[in-house]
Amino acid sequence: MQNPRPDPEAWRKIAKAVDRLDFAISLCRAPWEFFATYTVRGHPPRASVLYGLAMATLQDSCKMLGIERHTLFSALRFELGELGERPHFHCLLGHTGTKNRITDQHRLGRVWRIVSGGGRDDVRLYNRLRNGPDYLAESLGAKNQYEIGKYSLAESTTLSDSVTRYLTYLDRMTLRLNRKDEQGG
């Protein structure tokens, strides 16, 4: 029996899978506090308008929280729903400076409803006890495993500059510590 013909795209597929996993693990390194799903009401606008609504929501959320926009950690991902292809977006939020997460969870949902003109929101607390790749796979329950799994796709996720700066800082610190260990220091 001969070996099956090798897939010429196999290495590219493997590299893409590794990149997705790296991105998911990187996302888990940030101190997230909320996971939100936002949907518009009525006839959905163009993607560019939806993106504008998302940016306005992030800006207004910062005002509501009393923080500067450049300090908010956000990871935003647009997608079409499985049924009816209804556009919506998922958002991870962190570094909010909140003292009362339960209250701010509801306030963040209200910001979306105001900006979107009555859209639907689902804002949840990020479970920091399960931080890591297992959070993306399991923490929101069987109903949401598929959504969280799709969320980690790097090609369609917009990270705030603050998240990028934070992850870069963590990488530099890790490299520095590794060099000290290698040098015996």
Summarised one tens digit per residue, pLDDT across range 40-53 is 888 888 888 989 99
Q: Amino acid identity, residue 169?
A: Y
Summarised one tens digit per residue, pLDDT across range 111-168 is 999 999 999 999 999 876 655 444 444 434 444 555 555 554 555 678 899 998 998 8
Residue 15: Cβ-neighbour burial (10 angstroms; 0-12, 13-18, 19+): exposed
Q: Where are the domains of the chain?
A: 26-182
The CATH number of 26-182, from 3.90.870, 3.50.4, 3.40.1130, 3.40.1310, is 3.40.1310
Give the mean pLDDT of the chain. 79
Q: Which pLDDT value is given to residue 184?
A: 67
Q: Which pLDDT value is given to residue 171?
A: 84
Q: Which pLDDT value is given to residue 175?
A: 78
